[in-house]
Structure 1
Amino acid sequence: MALTSLLPTEFDALRTDFAPRWERYHRYHTLDGERRRIPAHGERANATLPGTDTKLFFLLTYPKTNSLQQPQAASFGLSPTRVSRLAGPLLGVLNQALAARHLLPVRDGAPLAQRLAAHPDQVFTCDGVACGIPRNVDRAGQEAEYSAKKKSTP
């Protein structure tokens, strides 16, 4: 869960949508996105990331490392160039699988508020990082922006 933000049951459920979509994409397209002249019959025995489980795990850990290719390359024994080539097509297929499950990220607050209001659980967890706001360097600017009181936002 620390690496993908998914429980094992959630991972398995997502894999059921991801696997057939990836196999269909791989059958007719190369990693560069070009159409194959002859459809592929299956994955090669010496595949870089063997199996759809490994591909999905690779892909779900990619955003958790802030899309840095060096940690991904080191973790999976790949070159950073190969990580970049694999991430593009895999992310497209993952977005299709998430869309099929109606799990794509919401880009506007209004639909999110509607979905949360209708959700049976009214307590939600948020996986985020608190980061400080840099203070203004000149004294007059600090006085204008900072009251020295800790305020909680409603």
Structure 2
Amino acid sequence: MDYICLREKPRQFLALTSLHVAEFDDLRTDFAPAWERYHRWHTLEGKRRQFAAHRERPNAVLAGSDVKLFFLLTYLKNSSLQQHQAASFGISQARVSQLSTALLGVLNQVLARRGLLPVRDGGALAQHLAAHGELVFAYDGVERGVPRNQDREAQAEEYSGKKKPTA
């Protein structure tokens, strides 16, 4: 994928990353220094370097923090297979695994500093919602089918009649 070319196509950029270009640029302002700080002292495997890395290698396929952030956001948004992500960005599947692990850790730190991490605990969620003035929220979820019981009588008890699957 060509990050520079896709920046010029806002609708496609939004579809791939879930962010408008301006939102991406805002996130990049915190992500870039955090990634450079991490990469300076850690390898992609997460091991501490003995000596600081002063710059990115000149032959890096995903050169620059902005390309790395774009890579990670497309990976997270599309839940793609690592092989697909590797083919899309011209790297190996093993490198996708290493990069996504390292980049996700840095992104989570940035989101935590901004107070944008999802709330995972029910009690914490209740506190967060109680403190929120406006009670209008967006919910991003995936609808999944539920396996039906094979017994006809049990099916009748479980079926609410609200929704029928489309063929």
Partner of 1:145: 158
1:83 and 2:84 matched = no
CA contact (8 A) 1:31 1:85 kept: yes
- Partner amino acid, structure 1, of 2:19: L
Query: How many residues are paired up?
Result: 150
Partner of 2:59: 46
1:111 is aligned, of 109, 124, 127, to 124
- Partner amino acid, structure 2, of 1:28: W
CA contact (8 A) 1:32 1:85 kept: yes
Query: Runs of at least 4 residues of structure 1 off by over 6 A?
Result: none
Q: Give matches, 1:5-20, under 5 Å.
A: 5-20=18-33
1:124 is aligned, of 132, 137, 145, to 137
- Partner amino acid, structure 1, of 2:67: T
Q: Which runs of 5+ in 2 are unaligned?
A: 1-13
CA contact (8 A) 1:73 1:79 kept: yes
Deviations 1:89-127 (Å, cap 9, x if unpaired)? 111111111111011111023433444455465433333
What is the aligned-residue identity percentage? 67
Deviations 1:22-62 (Å, cap 9, x if unpaired)? 10111111111122222111111111210101000111111
1:135 and 2:144 matched = no
- Partner amino acid, structure 2, of 1:63: L
Distance in 1 (CA, whole Å) between partners of 2:139 and 2:159 is: 27
- Which protein is richer in helix relative to its size? 2
Could you state the TM-score of these two structures normalised by the residue count of structure 1?
A: 0.85
Could you state the TM-score of these two structures normalised by the residue count of structure 2?
A: 0.79
Choose 77-86 or 136-145, whichever is displaced more. Answer: 136-145
